Structure 1
Amino acid sequence: MLPHSTSARSIANLSCRRSQTFKAFYATIRGLRDSTAEPDEPPPPTASNDFILSILRANPSLRDSRSYLASFGPRPQPKPVVAHVLPDLPAVAPSIPKPADPAVDTKTVVEQPKPSPILASILNPIYRRTALVKVQGPFTDVQLDSIARGLVYLDKLGLVSVIVVENDNLVRGEENDRSEIIEETMRVVSMLEKQGARARPVLGSVVRLGPKPDEDVAVEPGVHLPEAHTLPSDLIPIRSALRAGEIPVVPPFALDSFCRSVRVDANDVIAALARGMVEAAALGKSSAFDEKAADFSEDVDLTPLRLMIINREGGVPSYARSGNPHLLINLTSEHTHIHETFRDSWRESHPTSLSNLSLARTCLTFMPPTSSAIMVSHRSPSSLIGNLITNKPALSSSLPHALLQGNRKLTPHTPTLLRLGLPIRVARTLDQVDRTKLNALLEQSFGRTLNEDAFYKRLETALDFVIIAGDYAGAAVVTNEPSSDGGEPISYLDKFAVLPSHQGDGTVDFLWVALHDESYGLGHPSSANPNGGKEGKGEGRDLVWRSRANNPVNKWYFERSTGHVRMGSWVLFWCDAEKRLKIEQGRRGSAGLSYVEDWERGRLGVWADVASKIPSSWK
């Protein structure tokens, strides 16, 4: 028998070895789960779960999903050409092959089998599109890692980023600024590869300073052409990287008139790329970039679908949201107004907001009408997925302001979505309305035939105003209806219509915001928008309208109205005048509004009576 001390020591050693064996076994299992993971790193399924959760948080509607699939889903493949055998040719019986004639040079041509486009679309069903991305630092490694993860998620969904790197702390012209910006570019490349993507630094200049030769491009007034340009041959490195499945990362370099590569403002590089990539894609549509014959495994549509500006500031601050960002901007009608109302304090907290706003306007001028831009903080990389799938802001800008102010999603880091948009104008008389275009809009939107004579005869006496978006892409017709109790006329939304081709591109929200500014939102600070109307001056009025109970748009109306009441096969909606609500709330102090105010009593009966007597406008 061993001594007691020896026995105890042996047991202790055995216990120690068992503990080490268990630790080694645990480490081995973790190594099998992820051979590249460090002992202190979280297991990789977290990243996959985060990707899936980011998609689920986007909460896309059926229309959003269809729109995404229309851009990134499989394209219809051309039908194969079937060879027809001519009936008058005699059948040839198999025979012994004749010896080759030595005087004739015969070569056997072996054709390599080509992959079926249908098979390629099944194996890789995502049709790859491009996005221009401005990564505007400086960022810490943790922040840049989060940004890279978001861009890799977009790549998985089919949106490949063409990244231009900028660092606001590296002043142009200082010593070593070129080498420092190259180092910053390589940091972005390393972070992308750390997230599992393949990235390629494109350190040569892909744009040239100065206007494009033989410049003759018609742009909207106030839109500035890029200070640089690019030729199709300059885009070969970017196109090569995209075809190889790599994300090109570009420093802000440009060739000057002496063919020297110099550092320039990243906005000039992005604007030149936006125009150049659209033009290069248009030149190649008949060959490699023909969407109908796209090879899903290699081809990438060079036309930018999105412009993404990722910085530390986030979106553009709004005077109507106490400095919180704009949710959706109509650049055509709001660009100048945002410049005029930009507070001096924001020039310190958001020093590049206005320059990025102008960059978005310039780029979207050349990009397709369905394209959009987003300005987002590095704190919200997952919002890029939501924007890609839905192409909508995080919150609708046409929601009631009280609902927006109390919404947890509206924070200083909420992204701003920007669209080129449409001009908005207000017509006060029928003489200012193009009846032919309005007829076409109403009939296409409602899918019914308008009774023109009765409709316009009624508007001759009842019309208050018509809000028109663009060239009759949308319109809101508001009338003054006599009250059944002899009181003030009722402001009635007679028609609200948007062309089917413009549904989902922001026109609906732009039109409703203008309607808010001209009716129930008058007198509210957020109504001082330059839409050609009263610009927020005046007294707001309750807005009333009705919709059939089975109208699928009612869900949208429920979210934007103050209240509703059912009237048989109809639903009556209304929006209370915001200025009056504010006055009543201030008058009552901390007690707040009661369930039914004195000025509310009996009005629903009057509204229902008036709305039920309005004749149909359709045949």
Structure 2
Amino acid sequence: MIPHTAGPRSLTTVSVTTKRSHTFKAFYATIHGLRRPKGPEPDESPISENDFILSILRANPSLRDTRSYLASFGPRPQSKFRPDVPLGVPSFPPPITQPSTAKTIPVAIELEKESPVLASILDPVVRRTALVKVQGPFTDVQLDSITRGLVYLEKLGLVSVIVVENDDLLRGEQEERAAIVEETMRVVSSLEKHGSRARPVLGPVVRLGPKPFDDGSMREGDIIPPESHTYPSDLVPIRSALRAGEIPVISPFALDSFCRSIRIDANDVISGLAHGMVEASAQASPGTTPGDEGGTKEVDLTPLRLMIINREGGVPSYARSGYPHLLINLDSEYSHIHKTFHGSWRHSNPTALSNLALARTCLAAMPPTSSAIMVSHKSPSSLIANLITNKPAVSSSLPHALLQGNRKLTPDTPTLLRHGLPIQVLRSTHDIDKPRMNHLLEQAFRRTLDAQPFYKRLEQTLDYVIVAGNYAGAAIVTKEVGLGHGPITYLDKFAVLPSHQGDGTVDFLWVALHDESYGLGHPFSANPNGGKGGKGEGQDLVWRSRANNPVNKWYFERSSGHIRMGGWVLFWCDGEKRLKIEEGRRGSAGLSYVEEWEEGRLGLWADTVVKIPSSWK
């Protein structure tokens, strides 16, 4: 144990003594940058615009992703200025001067002609904030890659509020405070190297302990409240830096009950900031938007993202042979992830569960559209893709076999986390909240449901209904009887409210559908969705969609196959356990185009599905 404790202390001492001059040089450069425009030093290279553009293109955003991004960061429509006129006083047009006396243009005409260049300058992209945990230690090259990605995000309107952590620096070490300050200044220097402006916040911005008079209104379920809190006055250094166009870089210090500044875990700083920044934004004067107050460039303090950048990457998954989870529904999967967390992962991913708890605590306070991402320092470009699309690098609802062979799935693939929704499985029509279900189906399909015959048919054919949240989404599965064959597992309806499209609900719902139908029988189908827990025999899942349905592209990626039937497309997903058995048999018995159990099934499916009556008026 002596060599283990002596090593970090000696390294810390050497680091502090050898880099002391570099620290003060960086600090001077930061303060000096407030007095004159920051320009690259002769030995520094600013960010390449080509790299920045390529990073955006690699995100490959869809039209919906682009609209969502512009809704958060795009210019806000502004009403044209109109002078206040007292009530009852008529408004007269400006007098028209004669050409012989003057050649001036009336003021009213000037106001209507607005320069597009001037408008773009006066109406900039809205800036939002992200809480970022830089969980080192990192080498200079690794830190350089991380800060380059954060500067890219700033260009896109997402300003980072960074909290620095050093896992190798033990509590109570000699020169502990100096080492943390040194680490903070390294991040500041690296950000400024890439052309950004950064400000070190070396004093405490949070206070230890629960907030006095906290009634627990922001707590949900068994979520542990933060170990720290803030008051609006504590956020002044962060507000000041953001108003000055700088990225605040915060050391993990807090005030204790004796008003002493002590080092605490960065997770406690971030969770306290998440709640405090949301509360501060809620207390702002209503009706104001960023840039309204006295001409200053306000930044929305409400965190839009939580980013955890570390050396170990995301949360390992038992369903992916230790590769990271792609998308986590914290509401329904949090306990299950703890139960299935392998003992060896506590050595390879020692902070995965603590970071998972951090994401859960922060997202409980942040807006529903917010998300968290856990990413390795090797994948900084994925931060841009996450900002623009707010989706995982690879969709978690893709077929498991496709995910297993996907080249994009690596040990460094990021994990996207959302507050999510509870998932429940209903087995009887009596358990369905029919008014809510009617509203969901009519909003999703934009048609009027013929409710009475629809539910009458479900009473005879219903297998189960998977409901996400308070009917934010639903999958209705029936058992259809085919001639000369057993019942067909049919996906009658798959619907998500428009307000929840793009927030992960679609993937959460499809994963639960997979686990209850064609994915049954595999250990990775044991997600706690309220259903069979992975136990049973997987059944082929069949459904139909109109040929002109824009969702068909999504269905093509998730189905085993499809056939066209006039104005309809028939999709199906093969039972995965049977495919696995068949794969083993084919290894010794050879291959055939159509297996015995496949003969005639497409004709049977098509004949049965086409006879299912419409549910709409």
TM range (shorter): 0.7 to 0.9
Question: CA 1:118–1:79 in 2, change beyond 3 Å: closer, same or farther?
Answer: farther
Residue 597 of structure 2 is aligned to residue 594 of structure 1:
no
Do 2:526 and 2:535's aligned partners in 1 also have CA atoms closer than 8 Å? yes
For 2:49, the equivalent position in structure 1 comes to 48
Partner of residue 348, structure 1: 347
| Cα separation, partners in 2 of 1:473 and 1:593, compared to 1, 3 Å | farther
The 3-state SS of whatever aligns with 1:398 is coil
Residue 525 of structure 1: aligned partner: 523
2:274 is aligned to: 274
2-structure distance, mates of 1:44, 1:89: 54
For structure 1, which segment, 229-238 or 292-301, has the greater mean C-alpha deviation from structure 2 after superposition?
A: 292-301
Alignment of 1:144-543 (within 5 A): 144-218=143-217, 219-286=219-286, 289-290=288-289, 293=292, 298-485=297-484, 487-543=485-541
CA separation of 1:296 and 1:542: change in aligned 2, threshold 3 A: farther
3-state DSSP of counterpart to 2:494 = strand
Where do 5+ consecutive residues of structure 2 fail to align?
1-38, 96-113
SS at match of 1:281: helix
Letter in 2 for 1:386: A
Give the Å deviation of 1:37.
4.8
Find the aligned partners of 1:81 and 1:291 in 2 and give their Cα distance. Answer: 21
Q: Secondary structure in 1 aligned to 2:408?
A: coil
Q: Per-residue deviation at 1:125?
A: 2.6
Q: Report deviation, 1:78.
A: 3.6
Amino acid at match of 1:241: A
Shift in Å at residue 176 of structure 1? 1.5
**Letter of the structure 1 residue corresponding to residue 438 of structure 2:** N
**Closer, same or farther: CA 337–61 of 1 in aligned 2, 3 Å:** same
- Find the residue that maps to 1:513 and give its secondary structure: helix
Q: Structure 2 counterpart of 1:260, which letter? A: R
Q: Which residue of structure 2 lines up, in the alignment, with residue 76 of structure 1? A: 77
> Given that residues 126 and 296 in structure 1 are in contact (C-alpha distance below 8 angstroms), is that contact kept between their aligned partners in structure 2?
no
Instruction: Name the amino acid aligned to 1:468.
Output: V
* Alpha carbons 1:459, 1:479 under 8 Å: kept: yes
Partners of 2:277 and 2:261 in 1: CA distance: 20
In structure 2, distance between residues paired with 1:320 and 1:123? 50
User: Aligned partners of 2:56 and 2:298: how far apart in 1?
Assistant: 25
Query: TM-score normalised to the size of structure 1?
Result: 0.87
Contact 1:127-1:296 within 8 A present in 2 as well: no
User: What is the alpha-carbon distance in structure 1 between the residues aligned to residue 294 and residue 388 of structure 2?
Assistant: 23
Separation in 2 of the partners of 1:345 and 1:356? Answer: 17
Q: Distance in 1 between matches of 2:372 and 2:140?
A: 25
Residues 229 and 83 (structure 1), Cα distance of their counterparts in 2 relative to 1, 3 Å cut? closer
Alpha-carbon distance change, 381 to 340 in structure 1, aligned in 2, over 3 angstroms: same
Letter in 2 for 1:180: A
SS at 1:471 equivalent: coil
| 1:101-112 equivalence runs, <5 A | none
What is the CA–CA distance in structure 2 between the aligned matches of 1:295 and 1:618, rounded to whole Å? 54
Q: Which amino acid aligns with 1:480?
A: K
**Contact 2:76/2:123 (8 A) holds in 1:** no
The residue matched to 1:223 in structure 2 has which SS? coil
Aligned residues: 559
Deviation at 1:57, TM superposition (A): 0.2
Give the letter for the 1:512 counterpart. W
Contact 2:562–2:572 (CA under 8 A) maintained in structure 1: yes
> Given residue 500 of structure 1, which amino acid in structure 2 is its aligned partner?
P
Name the SS of the counterpart of 2:441 in structure 1. helix
- Cα distance in structure 1, aligned partners of 2:479 and 2:576: 19
Name the CA distance, whole Å, in 2 between partners of 1:333 and 1:544.
26
Residues 1:581 and 1:161: Cα distance change in structure 2 (over 3 Å): same
- Show CA shifts across 1:433-468 (max 9, x none): 101100000000000010111000000010000000
Rg (Cα) greater in structure:
1
Please tell me whether the aligned partners of residues 40 and 193 of structure 2 are also in contact (alpha carbons under 8 angstroms): no
Structure 2 counterpart SS, 1:478: strand
Letter in 2 for 1:346: W
Letter of the structure 2 residue corresponding to residue 453 of structure 1: Q
Range moving further from structure 2, 584-593 or 455-464 = 584-593
Match of 1:576 among 549, 574, 577: 574
Partner AA of 1:135 in structure 2: V
Q: What secondary structure does 1:580 align onto?
A: helix
Once the two structures are superposed, what CA deviation does each residue of 1:373-429 show, in whole Å capped at 9, x if it has no partner? 000000000000000000000010000111111111100000000000000000000
Q: Secondary structure at the match of 2:168?
A: coil
Q: In the aligned structure 2, how far is the partner of 1:149 from the partner of 1:37?
A: 18
Whole-Å Cα distance in 2 between the matches of residues 83 and 580 of structure 1?
74
- Shifted more, 190-199 versus 82-91: the winner is 82-91
Query: Which of 585, 610, 614 in structure 1 is aligned with 2:612?
Result: 614
* C-alpha distance in 1 between matches for 2:281 and 2:295: 16
Q: What is the CA–CA distance in structure 2 between the aligned matches of 1:295 and 1:579, rounded to whole Å?
A: 64
Q: Structure 1 residues 294 and 505, CA, compared in 2 at 3 Å: closer, same or farther? A: farther
- Corresponding residue number in structure 2 for 1:112: none
Contact 2:482 2:608 in 1 (8 A): yes
Shift of 1:587: 1.7
Deviation at residue 514 of structure 1 after TM alignment: 0.2
**Counterpart residue identity of residue 612, structure 1:** V
State the distance in 2 between where 1:547 and 1:292 align.
47
Aligned to 1:20: none
The secondary structure found in structure 2 opposite 1:466 is strand
In 2 relative to 1, CA 170–116 (structure 1 residues): closer, same or farther, beyond 3 Å?
Answer: farther
- The letter for the 2-side match of 1:168 is D
Query: Quick one: distance in 1 between partners of 2:90 and 2:203?
Result: 63
Give aligned-pair identity as a percent.
Answer: 74
Shift of 1:282: 1.0
**Structure-2 change in CA distance of 1:586 and 1:82 (3 Å):** same
- CA-CA distance at 1:480 after TM superposition: 0.2
Shift of 1:364: 0.2
Partners of 1:227 and 1:297 in 2: CA distance: 33
Deviation at 1:80, TM superposition (A): 2.5
Q: Which stretch of the first structure deviates more once superposed, 295-304 or 376-385?
A: 295-304
How far apart, in 1, do the equivalents of 2:233 and 2:121 lie?
Answer: 33
Q: Deviations over 1:301-344 (max 9, x none)?
A: 01000000000000100000011000000000000000000000
C-alpha offsets along residues 75-130 of structure 1, whole Å, 9 cap, x if unaligned? 12244334448668999x9xxxxxxxxxxxxxxxxxxxxx9999465455310000
Kindly indicate whether the alpha-carbon contact (under 8 Å) linking 1:477 and 1:494 is maintained by their aligned counterparts in 2. Answer: yes
Counterpart residue identity of residue 391, structure 2: K
Other structure's SS at 1:495 match: strand
Letter in 1 for 2:389: T
- Counterpart secondary structure, 1:409: coil
Contact 1:393 1:416 in 2 (8 A): yes
Q: CA deviation at 1:286?
A: 2.3
SS in structure 1 opposite 2:249? strand
Task: Choose 173-182 or 200-209, whichever is displaced more.
Answer: 173-182
2:278–2:301 Cα contact (<8 Å) kept? yes
Distance across 2 between alignment mates of 1:79 and 1:615: 53
Quote the RMSD (CA, aligned, Å).
2.3
Name the residue aligned to 1:21.
none
Which whole-Å CA distance do the structure 2 matches of 1:84 and 1:221 have between them? 53
Report the residue type matching 1:213 in the other structure.
P
Distance 1:371 1:307 in 2: 8
2:58 pairs with 1:65:
no
Residues of 1 paired with 2:571 and 2:549: CA distance? 13
- Code of the aligned partner of 1:435: K
Partner of 1:9: none
Distance 1:162-1:296 versus aligned 2 partners, 3 A rule = farther
TM-score (norm 2): 0.87
Q: Compared with structure 1, are the counterparts of its residues 209 and 468 closer, same or farther at alpha carbon in structure 2 (3 Å cutoff)?
A: same
**Is the CA contact (8 Å cut-off) linking 2:40 and 2:195 kept in structure 1?**
no
CA distance in 2, matches of 1:292, 1:517: 48
* Amino acid across the alignment from 1:76: P
Once the two structures are TM-superposed, the CA of residue 515 in structure 1 deviates from its matched residue by: 0.1
